[in-house]
Structure 1
């Protein structure tokens, strides 16, 4: 009988050990489930921090772009207001020469000196403009080109070779740094 009692005691201990083992497993499993929400909350906090950092970077980048846009608009306005400053400054010397010539004209007696002085001023004016990139278009005896010329009228050509070519130039055409800025007004032979 003692054997039976011991067996029942052993069985009870085994059942208690098994129950303890199951409870421990459940407890461990419960702990795992409890940690998951904690990890999710940590992940959410990290994601929220990353989102806030990205928002901050975006706002800063947008502000930099806005400042850049305003600055370039201001610079463009200033540039357009002072675009001709360099040319005007270069032409001031020619203007000074014109004023000096104007003062001497009423008292001038030698026509040849007046002509020579005027020619010097005109040459200085042309040279100044050429130094700034202005170039006169050569049109006479060239083929009429609608991209460069504006036909004022057509006249009978003096020779058969001049048909469709520029016979006379009413107003010169000009290039500025190889870009056409004024069409030549011409007379074309027909």
Structure 2
């Protein structure tokens, strides 16, 4: 539906640009004919100064008409590029809101799995939870979701949100992520949630 509307808009603007271009060509042709007429008059008339002035005026009008057409064409070309980019972005992030709403469920799965790990006689429950979590993660991965690997990485403000800083456990961990409090996610290589991390100082 969005594509059809955009295509109609583009076709309409193309037709409008084409019609304005035809009008400008017609105007240019009329101005050129007027110039030729003035040239002929110039050879027969004693009022050459006035005719020369009229010729200069027509030349400036012709230049103005050509400049208007060039600006109009440039504006249309920019519009076409912008709508093409917006269409691509819309297709890539069409399910963004749905996926964002599922992220807390992924967090709950992770917490439940951690809580179960230390207990006895929960093997069947553990296996079931793992199957559900893996199935859900696999489905989201197919939709373009990617989990950030933040642990041990150099802190980047474009990917991470620093919750706090603690003394680094080793010299090489300074300025790096020493703990991840909440995972970050990318959708088609665009950040949809920053990773909440602890940074070594």
**What's the TM-score once normalised by structure 1's chain length?**
0.43
User: Considering only CA atoms, is the larger Rg found in Structure 1 or Structure 2?
Assistant: 1
**What's the TM-score once normalised by structure 2's chain length?**
0.41
